[in-house]
Amino acid sequence: NIGGGVLLTANWFFFIYVMNHISVKATSLAYLVCPILTTLLAYVILKEKLSRLQWIAVALSITGCAILSWSRVMDMVFSLIIGLSYALYLVAQKKNTGFDKFLVLSVQIIVSAVLLLPFYPAYSAPLPVDPTFYICVTVIAVAFTIVPLLLNLYALKGINSSTAGMLLNINPLIAFSLATLVFHEQMDLLQIVAYGIIFLAVIVFNAHFLFRSKPEQQ
């Protein structure tokens, strides 16, 4: 649990640092790199078996990421750091059995707070007085951080960490769809091809679950 808290803190720290000091594209790419690293770590550390189709899906994901990071080597380096920290967290939580998931997450968040507390004097700023700020922070913390993490931990009880990792690709795919269809952002051909390949990778990786025949009722 303490190790999970350390990995979670590292992931948050790297994500925020890269977002503010490197580029938004690097953090976005991390969401696509993480599933690949999770799948490979699960294969090596947890000895999870992958079918031939799933290995093809991994190769497709790598191809999509390579296209997106073309000519942006440093973005890929920082994406690997962010992705690796969360991939290690997922694999560690798969091994962390026998504890209530809500309790596990509570301990990890406390560990994270303790680790970050020493940095408060150096990076603190005047506290905002606008109530809207605290409402937004609460929504982000609960709806977009704690709840997804808790659901992730519960999902790991029933599926392989490699499957959970590959499903993380849904996040950037939704973001890409919203950017294109809702906000009408311009996407070049390489981006469209890359995200198309990654979407195909998710389908191929989970083909066994998506297309398996239902057992006949007696």
Q: What is the pLDDT of residues 140-155, one digit of tens each?
A: 888 988 898 888 888 8
Identify whether the C-beta of residue 172 lies closer than 8 Å to the C-beta of residue 215.
no
| Residue 139 predicted with pLDDT over 80 | yes
Highest mean pLDDT among 17-26, 29-38, 183-192: 29-38
- C-alpha to C-alpha distances, 159 to 135, 146, 155, nearest whole angstrom: 34, 20, 6
Q: Is the pLDDT of residue 86 over 80?
A: yes
Which pLDDT score is estimated for 213?
52
Helix (H, G, I), strand (E, B) or coil at 77: helix
**107 burial level (CB within 10 Å; 0-12, 13-18, 19+):** middle
pLDDT at 214: 52
Q: Decide: helix, strand or coil at residue 123.
A: helix
Distance CA 42, CA 22 (A): 29
**Over the Cα atoms of the chain, what is R_g?**
19
Contact 71, 146 (CB under 8 A): no
